[in-house]
C-alpha cells in the first residue's frame, strides 16, 4: 500500500515524472472495472432513487410526489406479508444451512473421515447446479404425479402432506436453498479452518483439551471472519429470494402468490403491472433493510473479536 518510490531516486531527473505517472497507473488498471461498475451499479441506484419520488398515471402523466410511494409501501399489506415471509425464512433456514455446513466442515477438517476429499467435492457439487435446474428437480420430486412423494404415498399406502401446498411451500423452498448452498458455505468454512496453525491444536491437546473444547476455544474463534461473511451473504440471499419461488410458481400456482417475496412483488409490479415507480420504491426499501441488517451483523461479528 505504500508508494513504491525509493528505487527511482538514483535517476534524479526522471523522479518527479515517473512518480506522478505511477500514482495514476493504478487507475489504468482499476479504471475499466470502475467504468462498467458505474454503468451497471451506480447509475441504476441513482435512477431508482429518482423513479421512487415520482408517480406516472395514465391521466396526468408523471408528477413529483415526494415520499408518497414510500408511505404507500409502509401501509401495503402485500409488501409486509412478503417481508414477513422472507424474515421467517431467514431466521429458520440460514441457521440450519450454516449449522450443517459448519458441522461438515469441522468433520472434514478433523481428518477423521474416510475419503474426505470425496466428501468435500460431492457435498459442494450442488453449487454448480443452476437454481432453475435445482428448483425443477426438487419441484418434480415434491410432485405427487411422478415425484418421490407420490411414489412413497403409493408404496406405503400413506398420504404425506403435499410439499407444494400453501402451508409447506416455504419450507420446501428452504430445503432447495439449503441443498444448493450447504456445500458452498462448507467450503468457505473449510478453507478458513485449513489455515489455522495445527500447532495450536497440539498445544491444546497437551493441555488436555478435548475435541469439542478445541473446536469451541480455537477453531470457531479462528474462523469468525468466515462465519460473518457467510452469514452476511446468506442474509442478502434470503432477502433477495426470487428464483426458487418464481420457478415453482408454475408447479404450485395457488401456493405462491405474485407477492410471495418482496422481490417477486417488485418484479410483478413492474412487469405485469407497469408500476415502475412503486416497484423501484419497494426495491429500494428492501435494499436499505438488507444493508442495515448486513451492517449490524458485521459490527456484532467483528466486535466480539476485540
Partner 1 sequence: MTTATPAAPAAARRPAPRLRTPRVPSARPRRSTLLTVLTAIVLVYSLIPLVWLLINATKTQGDLFSSFGLWFGDSFALWDNVATTLTYDDGVFVRWLANTVLYVVVGAGGATFLAILGGYALAKFDFPGKRGVFAVVIGAVAVPGTALAVPTFLMFSQMGLTNTPWAVIIPSLISPFGLYLMWTFAAEAIPTELLEAARIDGAGEFRTFFRVSLPLLAPGIVTVLLFTMVATWNNYFLPLIMLRDSSWYPLTLGLNAWNAQAATAGGEAIFNLVITGSLLTIVPLVVAFLLLQRFWQSGLAAGSVKE
Near partner 1 in 152-191, by CB under 8 A: 155, 179, 182-183, 187-188, 191
299 forms part of the interface with partner 1 (CB under 8 A): no
Binds partner 1 (CB under 8 A): choice among 15, 16, 30, 91:
30
Nearest residue (CB) to partner 1, 60 versus 111: 111
58 forms part of the interface with partner 1 (CB under 8 A): no
Other Cβ atoms closer than 10 A to 3: 8
Q: How far is the CB of 41 from partner 1 (least distance, A)?
A: 5
Count of alpha carbons within 13 angstroms of residue 275, beta-carbon side: 14
Residues 216-255 contacting partner 1, CB under 8 A: 223, 225-226, 229, 232, 236, 239-240, 242-243, 246-247, 250, 253
- Between 186 and 215, how does the x/- string for binding to partner 1 read (CB under 8 A)? -xx--xx-xx--x---x--xx-xxxxx---
SS3 for 113? coil
Q: In the structure grid, which three cell numbers stand for residue 179, read together?
A: 441443498
Residue the block writes with cell 417477486: 264
Q: How far is the CB of 59 from partner 1 (least distance, A)?
A: 21
Binds partner 1 (CB under 8 A): choice among 17, 22, 300, 304:
22
Nearest residue (CB) to partner 1, 67 versus 125: 125
Q: How far is the CB of 83 from partner 1 (least distance, A)?
A: 13
87 forms part of the interface with partner 1 (CB under 8 A): no
The three-state (H, E, C) secondary structure of 245-273, written as one string: HHHHCCCCCCCCCCCCCHHHHHHHHHHCC
Q: In the structure grid, which three cell numbers stand for residue 277, read together?
A: 415507480
Q: Left, alpha or beta for 140 (phi > 0: left; psi -120 to 50: alpha)?
A: alpha
Spell out the residues 6+ positions from residue 119 whose beta carbon is closer than 8 angstroms to its own.
Answer: 104, 107, 108, 113
Nearest residue (CB) to partner 1, 80 versus 242: 242
296 forms part of the interface with partner 1 (CB under 8 A): no
Q: Are 52 and 284 in contact (CB under 8 A)?
A: yes
Binds partner 1 (CB under 8 A): choice among 14, 62, 151, 274:
151
Give me the phi and psi of 62, to 5 degrees please: -95, 125
Q: How far is the CB of 70 from partner 1 (least distance, A)?
A: 14
Q: How far is the CB of 266 from partner 1 (least distance, A)?
A: 6
Other Cβ atoms closer than 10 A to 150: 16
20 forms part of the interface with partner 1 (CB under 8 A): no
Residue the block writes with cell 479462528: 222
Amino acid at each position: 500500500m505504500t508508494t513504491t518510490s525509493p528505487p527511482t531516486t538514483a535517476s534524479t531527473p526522471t523522479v518527479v515524472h515517473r512518480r506522478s505517472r505511477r500514482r495514476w497507473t493504478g487507475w489504468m488498471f482499476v479504471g475499466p472495472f470502475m467504468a462498467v461498475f458505474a454503468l451497471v451499479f451506480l447509475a441504476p441506484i441513482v435512477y431508482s432513487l429518482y423513479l421512487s419520488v415520482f408517480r406516472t398515471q395514465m391521466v396526468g402523466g408523471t408528477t413529483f410526489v415526494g415520499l408518497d410511494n414510500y408511505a404507500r409501501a409502509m401501509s401495503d399489506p402485500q409488501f409486509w406479508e412478503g417481508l414477513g415471509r422472507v424474515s421467517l425464512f431467514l431466521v429458520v433456514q440460514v441457521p440450519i444451512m450454516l449449522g450443517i455446513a459448519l458441522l461438515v466442515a469441522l468433520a472434514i477438517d478433523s481428518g477423521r473421515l474416510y475419503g474426505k476429499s470425496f466428501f468435500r467435492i460431492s457435498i459442494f457439487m450442488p453449487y454448480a447446479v443452476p437454481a432453475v435446474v435445482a428448483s425443477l428437480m426438487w419441484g418434480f420430486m415434491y410432485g405427487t404425479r411422478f415425484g418421490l412423494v407420490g411414489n412413497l404415498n403409493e408404496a406405503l399406502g400413506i398420504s404425506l402432506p403435499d410439499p407444494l401446498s400453501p402451508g409447506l411451500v416455504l419450507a420446501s423452498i428452504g430445503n432447495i436453498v439449503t441443498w444448493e448452498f450447504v456445500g458452498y458455505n462448507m467450503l468457505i468454512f473449510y478453507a478458513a479452518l485449513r489455515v489455522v496453525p495445527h500447532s495450536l491444536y497440539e498445544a491444546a491437546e497437551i493441555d488436555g483439551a478435548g475435541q469439542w473444547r478445541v473446536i469451541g476455544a480455537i477453531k470457531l474463534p479462528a474462523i469468525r471472519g468466515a462465519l460473518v461473511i457467510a452469514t452476511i451473504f446468506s442474509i442478502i440471499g434470503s432477502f433477495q429470494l426470487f428464483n426458487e419461488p418464481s420457478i415453482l410458481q408454475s408447479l404450485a400456482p395457488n401456493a405462491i402468490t405474485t407477492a410471495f417475496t418482496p422481490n417477486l412483488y417488485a418484479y410483478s409490479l413492474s412487469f405485469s403491472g407497469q408500476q415502475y415507480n412503486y416497484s423501484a420504491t419497494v426495491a429500494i426499501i428492501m435494499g436499505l433493510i438488507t444493508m442495515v441488517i448486513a451492517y449490524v451483523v458485521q459490527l456484532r461479528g467483528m466486535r466480539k473479536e476485540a
